[in-house]
């Protein structure tokens, strides 16, 4: 896709619906959990349905490319898929214990974990703006973690895992969301190595398929069944695979053909904002003031680090790797 092509739809509008689609992921997870579907089963169905669409498409359009892949590339794709499965397993599980706002903001920190690991794994320089962004994001994460368990009582700070929160176990949920971000950053680092030699379609087909296999194994090993739930639960799974997984990420990659990478990266930062607003409208889930302050600080840190840290663009702007979520 060439950047001077005239788009059929306004790129900003497409990007808006992409943000809305991906932001709906946490809301759909909550609906599925409300249907007594375990988090690991939700993650397994989300990736399995997405892989069921992408794998046949890749076999039809990229068969020769897949056939020529060396064994090392298949191994890296499997490792990337495992990290993606760990990301979805931990992040989706986090939504059963903490607020949508806290979970989605914390899981969005993956770009900073990538930046922190880049000097060691990719031999990339950790710039001053990135260091400042990481510090601000970590400080924001601490505020988010404290929001649900600390409160002022008679002018004195008090700590409680349950007394000040409407969520079952916010510290556990926040920890799982951070684990999801770290796993997503490992997925992105592995993907950065793979994407130099693979097309987007081949990459996501292999990684989503391997992630689906890992998640199915995790769910079954945990004693969960993939079947026997109500039609509403499976309907939500179809919506989850369609909107946040396929349409949401696809809109990001399409928009990259017409908009700058910086513009699209800001849309990724808008995901937790959209999810928080949807949670407020649908579940009446009002974020605490400390959560809002911590989220603002964390998101500012990500924007500061991302906007001021130069990175070499890939050869094909219209064929980029999607975000994990």
* Per-residue model confidence (pLDDT) at position 152: 65
- Given this model, what pLDDT does residue 117 score? 76
Residues 6+ apart with CB under 8 A from 250: 18, 322
> What's the mean pLDDT in 310-314?
43
Residue 151 — φ and ψ, nearest 5°? -150, 155
**Residue 164: band (very low, low, confident or very high) from pLDDT cuts 50, 70, 90:** low
Q: How far apart are CA 155 and CA 270, in angstroms?
A: 35
What mean pLDDT comes out for the span 69-83? 92
Q: 6 in a domain, yes or no?
A: no
Tell which wins on pLDDT, 226 or 114: 226
Burial class (CB in 10 A: 0-12, 13-18, 19+), 315: exposed
pLDDT band at 216 (very low <50, low <70, confident <90, very high): very high
The number of C-alpha atoms within 13 Å of 71 and in the hemisphere containing its C-beta is 0
pLDDT classification of 223: cutoffs 50, 70, 90 = very high
The mean pLDDT of 17-23, rounded to a whole number, is: 86
Residue 207 lies in a domain: yes
Confirm whether 324 is domain-assigned: no
pLDDT score, position 256: 62
Question: For the ranges 85-94, 114-123, 207-216, which has the lowest average pLDDT?
Answer: 114-123
Dihedral angle at the C-alpha atoms of 99, 109, 77, 21, nearest 10 degrees?
Answer: 50
- 47 burial (CB, 10 Å; 0-12 / 13-18 / 19+) is buried
Instruction: Report the pLDDT averaged over residues 272-279.
Output: 88
Question: What would the pLDDT profile of 93-145 be if each residue is shown by its tens digit?
Answer: 999 999 998 899 888 887 778 777 767 766 666 677 777 887 888 788 788 87
Q: Does some domain include residue 2?
A: no
pLDDT, averaged across the chain: 82
Contact 185, 113 (CB under 8 A): yes
Q: What is the mean pLDDT of residues 13-33?
A: 89
Does residue 321 lie in a domain region? Answer: no
CB 255 within 8 A of CB 18: yes
Tell me whether residue 92 is in a domain: yes
> In the prediction, which pLDDT does 299 show?
82
> Model confidence over 276-289: pLDDT tens digits?
889 999 999 988 88
Quick one: what percent of the chain has pLDDT higher than 90?
38
Kindly tell me the burial class for residue 65, based on how many C-beta atoms sit within 10 Å of its own C-beta (0-12, 13-18, 19 or more): middle
Number of domains in the chain: 1
Question: What is the domain extent for residue 104?
Answer: 11-307
C-alpha 162/C-alpha 289 separation (Å) is 18
How large is the angle between the packed helices 289-307 and 100-107, nearest 10 degrees?
20
pLDDT at 37: 97
Q: Specify if 323 maps to a domain.
A: no
Is residue 314 one of the residues assigned to a domain?
no
- Predicted local distance difference test score (pLDDT) of residue 160: 67
Q: Report the 3 state secondary structure along the chain.
A: CCCCCCCCCCHHHHHHHHHHHHHHHHHHHHHHHHCCCCHHHHHHHHHHHHHHHHHHHHHHHCHHHHHHCCHHHHHHHHHHHHHHHHHHHHHHHHCCCCCHHHHHHHHCCHHHHHHHHHHHHCCCCCCHHHHHHHHHHHHHHHHHHHHCCEEEECCEEEECCCCCCCCCCHHHHHHHHHHHHHHHHHHHHHHHHHCCCCCHHHHHHHHHHHHHHHHHHHHHHCCCCCCCCCHHHHHHHHHHHHHHHHHHHHHHHHHCCCCCHHHHHHHHHHHHHHHHHHHHHHHCCCCCHHHHHHHHHHHHHHHHHHHCCCCCCCCCCCCCCCCCC
Out of 89-98, 157-166, 219-228, 235-244, pick the least confident.
Answer: 157-166
**The pLDDT of residue 319 is above 60:** no
Distances (CA, A) of 191 to 100, 268, 302, 323: 27, 18, 20, 11
pLDDT per residue as tens digits for the range 36-55: 999 999 999 999 999 999 99
pLDDT, residue 74, reads 93
CA 290 to chain CA mean position, Å: 23
């Amino acid at each position: 896709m060439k950047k001077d092509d005239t788009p059929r739809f306004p790129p900003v509008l497409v990007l808006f619906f992409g943000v809305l689609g991906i932001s709906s992921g946490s809301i759909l997870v909550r609906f599925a959990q409300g249907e007594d579907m375990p988090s690991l089963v939700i993650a397994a169905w989300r990736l399995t349905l997405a892989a069921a669409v992408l794998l046949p498409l890749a076999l039809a359009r990229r068969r020769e490319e897949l056939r020529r892949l060396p064994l090392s590339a298949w191994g890296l794709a499997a490792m990337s898929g495992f990290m993606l499965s760990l990301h979805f397993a931990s992040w989706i599980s986090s939504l059963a214990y903490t607020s949508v706002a806290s979970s989605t903001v914390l899981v969005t920190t993956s770009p900073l974990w990538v930046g922190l690991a880049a000097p060691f794994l990719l031999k990339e320089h950790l710039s001053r703006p990135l260091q400042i962004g990481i510090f601000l994001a970590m400080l924001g994460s601490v505020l988010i973690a404290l929001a649900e368990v600390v409160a002022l009582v008679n002018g004195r700070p008090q700590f409680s895992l349950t007394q000040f929160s409407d969520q079952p176990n916010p510290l556990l949920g926040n920890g799982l969301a951070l684990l999801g971000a770290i796993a997503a950053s490992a997925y992105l680092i592995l993907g950065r190595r793979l994407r130099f030699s693979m097309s987007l379609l081949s990459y996501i087909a292999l990684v989503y398929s391997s992630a689906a296999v890992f998640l199915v194994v995790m769910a079954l090993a945990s004693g969960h069944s993939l079947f026997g739930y109500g039609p509403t639960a499976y309907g939500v799974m179809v919506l989850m695979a369609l909107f946040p997984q396929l349409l949401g990420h696809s809109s990001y990659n399409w928009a990259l053909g017409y908009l700058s990478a910086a513009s699209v990266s800001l849309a990724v930062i808008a995901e937790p904002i959209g999810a928080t607003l949807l949670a407020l409208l649908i579940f009446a889930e009002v974020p605490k003031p400390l959560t809002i302050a911590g989220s603002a600080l964390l998101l500012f840190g990500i924007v500061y680090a991302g906007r001021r840290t130069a990175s070499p663009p890939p050869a094909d702007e219209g064929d980029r790797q999607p975000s994990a979520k």
